[in-house]
């Protein structure tokens, strides 16, 4: 069975990019093809050969797809929004040196939510000669930043997205001179997504609630170490509707007016991200261009109605920028048939490299990478190798007959897979490779057993056996 992204032309499978050019509307990367051996290729690289060379499970990141999504966000803002604008990558989706370097080279900034993500981003920017611009590229998020993280962000002149009263007071104490901040507001907007990734409703751990806005603006205006340059709100993730983000622009513009009445010189509004992607054929998200056009128009309209100048518009895509660019390759191991109930196929990974199915009940596609044109006539359940009954990657998947050693590929795994991976059952985390025009480069090494114990400490009294 050929993936939905791929069409047949002559004897070669070509990408569907001519018809659908927005990566978030595809299931496979834009470079996905099937070669003469009936193998899936990404970025000109044969998946079977990649597994032979790098092992499995293996994250395979397509550079061309990642760059296309980055450019569509950047260029769409320039096209549809006449004011200043900036795209910020929500790096919690997947943070690594190579990913940060690619995204920075496309003129995109970074949303970081921990000292570790900040460190990674700074290292990447330094490597490509952009560390001196960190102050204008990095925005530090989080609902419970530590004092050391706040100090680290201040030291590197990052803009800090303030989430709560404790943080405001901490910044007042830590800052030696005015620190650039934005205020995260809870807009009270509901959207249709999983409750764990819905962040804009009133019952949320993030941000200042609407009944606090006036007090908040008054407080910040009276504390000169807090240089408030903007307002931020984020309503959730994996959202298919455009209306919630359009509604959000009105909420933020009204808050902007209120803040100005308190003397705050705010010139930036950040509407967050949250655009969904296509994991399966039933998913139908708007394209990147459509989404940017909708929020740009909504911001223009809201400012026109309110009679205020256009602010700098910021957006923070994460999933929709990187998810489709990556696939995960697994090797088939054991199988189990329960007559009349279910057929299981086990792979060499699972919940430690993709916790989304067990956490969010997320759905995925799967293909047989070494037999792409074979008839997918069997219904099987893809099980992980962890000691958990719930470690199921995909229920009732359609696949051809498979054998131990076959290579399965699950697409759309660039967001919240590597970044949420773990060592559960003491499995080493997978390697990741970047593919482009037939070249494959290792960007994350596979962990070893030695890596698993390198942070362990055995007290001396336990190491010396006493009879």
CATH number of the domain encompassing residue 277: 3.20.20.10
Q: What per-residue confidence (pLDDT) applies to 207?
A: 82
Query: Residue 458 domain-assigned?
Result: no
Residue pLDDT, tens place only, 63-113? 999 999 999 999 999 999 999 999 999 999 999 999 999 999 999 999 999
Residue 466: inside a domain, yes or no? no
Is 161 among the domain residues? Answer: yes
DSSP string, 209-241: -GGGHHHHHHHHHT-TTEEEEEEE----SSB--
Nearest to 66 by CA among 116, 105, 114: 105
Tell which of 296, 322, 348 closes a domain. Answer: 322
**Domain's final residue, options 270, 305, 322:** 322
Query: What average pLDDT does range 20-45 have in this prediction?
Result: 95
Q: How confident is the model at residue 202 (pLDDT cuts 50, 70, 90)?
A: low
- Asked if 120 and 225 sit in the same domain, the reply is yes
* Claim to verify: residue 94 and residue 74 sit in the same structural domain: yes
By DSSP bridging, strand 179-184 and strand 226-232 are: parallel
Q: Name the DSSP class of 428.
A: P
pTM of the model: 0.92
Residue 8: band (very low, low, confident or very high) from pLDDT cuts 50, 70, 90: very low
The 3-state DSSP class for residue 248 equals helix
Shared-domain flag, residues 255 and 349? no
Longest CA–CA span in the chain (Å) reads: 83
For the chain, the domain total comes to 2
Give mean pLDDT, residues 425-442: 98
393 and 406 share one domain: yes
Could you tell me the pLDDT band of residue 338, with boundaries at 50, 70 and 90?
very high
Active site residues: 387
Its domain, for residue 374, covers 6-62+326-453
Answer positive or negative: Cα dihedral of 379, 396, 24, 160.
Answer: negative
- Whether residue 241 sits in one domain with residue 143: yes
Exposure class string for 206-222: b at 16+ Cβ within 10 A, else e = bbbeeeebeebbebbbe
Q: Are residues 366 and 425 in the same domain?
A: yes
Of the candidates 192, 191, 194, 190, which has an alpha carbon nearest to the alpha carbon of residue 363?
194
Structural domain includes residue 467: no
52 shares its domain with 165? no
Q: Distance between CA 159 and CA 142 in Å, rounded?
A: 12
Structure tokens at 89: 């990558």
Q: Is residue 460 part of a domain?
A: no
Residue pair 348/93 in contact by the 8 Å Cβ criterion: no
In a domain, 294, yes or no: yes
Assigned domain for 1 exists:
no
Same domain, 243 and 186: yes
Of 304, 322, 340, the position where a domain reaches its end is 322
Pair (187, 276) in one structural domain: yes
- Assess if residue 461 is contained within a domain: no
Tell me the mean pLDDT in the region 181-209.
Answer: 65
Find the DSSP H helices in 239-346: 243-261, 288-306, 319-322
pLDDT at 263 over 90: yes
DSSP sequence for 2-68: --TTEEEETTEEEESTTT---GGG-SS-TT-EE-TTS-EEETTEEHHHHHHHH-SSEEEEEHHHHHH
Instruction: Tell me: do 199 and 136 sit in the same domain.
Output: yes
Q: 69 and 58 in one domain?
A: no
Q: Do 141 and 41 lie in a common domain?
A: no
Residue 18: give its domain's CATH number: 2.40.37.10
Q: Which of 430, 394, 447 is nearest to 61 (CA)?
A: 430
């Amino acid at each position: 069975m050929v993936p939905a992204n791929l069409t047949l032309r002559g004897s070669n499978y070509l990408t569907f990019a001519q018809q659908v050019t927005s990566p978030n509307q595809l299931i496979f990367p834009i470079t996905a093809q099937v070669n003469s051996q009936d193998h899936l290729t990404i970025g000109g690289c044969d998946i079977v050969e990649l597994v032979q060379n790098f092992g499995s499970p293996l994250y395979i990141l397509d550079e061309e797809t990642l760059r296309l999504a980055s450019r569509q966000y950047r260029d769409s803002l320039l096209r549809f929004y006449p004011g200043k604008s900036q795209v910020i990558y929500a790096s919690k989706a997947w943070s690594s040196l190579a990913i940060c370097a690619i995204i920075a080279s496309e003129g995109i900034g970074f949303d970081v939510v921990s000292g570790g993500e900040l460190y990674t981003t700074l290292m990447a920017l330094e490597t490509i000669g952009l560390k001196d611009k960190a102050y204008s590229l990095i925005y530090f998020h989080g609902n419970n930043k530590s004092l050391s993280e706040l100090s680290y962000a201040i030291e590197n002149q990052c803009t800090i997205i303030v989430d709560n009263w404790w943080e405001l007071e901490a910044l007042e104490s830590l800052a030696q001179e005015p620190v650039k901040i934005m205020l995260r507001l809870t807009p009270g907007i509901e959207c249709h997504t999983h409750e764990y990734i819905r962040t804009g409703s009133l019952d949320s751990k993030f941000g200042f609630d609407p009944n606090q806005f006036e007090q908040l603006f008054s407080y910040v205006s009276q504390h000169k170490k807090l240089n408030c340059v903007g307002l931020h709100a984020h309503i959730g993730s994996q959202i298919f509707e455009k209306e919630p983000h359009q509604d959000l622009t009105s909420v933020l513009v009204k808050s902007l007016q209120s803040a100005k009445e308190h003397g705050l010189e705010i010139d930036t509004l950040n509407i967050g991200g949250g655009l969904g992607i296509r994991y399966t054929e039933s998913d139908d998200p708007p394209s990147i261009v459509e989404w940017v056009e909708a929020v740009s128009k909504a911001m223009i309209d809201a400012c026109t109605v309110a009679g205020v100048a256009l602010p700098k518009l910021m957006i923070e895509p994460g999933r929709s920028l990187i998810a489709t660019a990556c696939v995960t390759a697994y090797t088939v191991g054991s199988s189990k048939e329960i007559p009349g109930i279910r057929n299981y196929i086990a792979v060499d990974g699972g919940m430690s490299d993709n916790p989304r199915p067990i956490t969010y009940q997320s759905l995925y596609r799967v293909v047989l990478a070494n037999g792409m044109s074979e008839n997918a006539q069997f219904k099987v359940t893809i099980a992980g190798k962890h000691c958990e009954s719930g470690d199921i990657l995909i229920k009732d998947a359609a696949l051809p007959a498979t054998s131990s050693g076959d290579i399965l590929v699950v697409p759309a795994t660039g967001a919240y897979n590597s970044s949420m991976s773990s060592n559960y059952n003491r499995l080493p985390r997978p390697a990741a490779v970047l593919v482009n025009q037939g070249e494959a480069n290792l960007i994350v090494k596979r962990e070893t057993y030695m890596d698993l114990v390198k942070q362990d400490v055995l007290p001396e009294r336990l190491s010396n056996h006493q009879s």
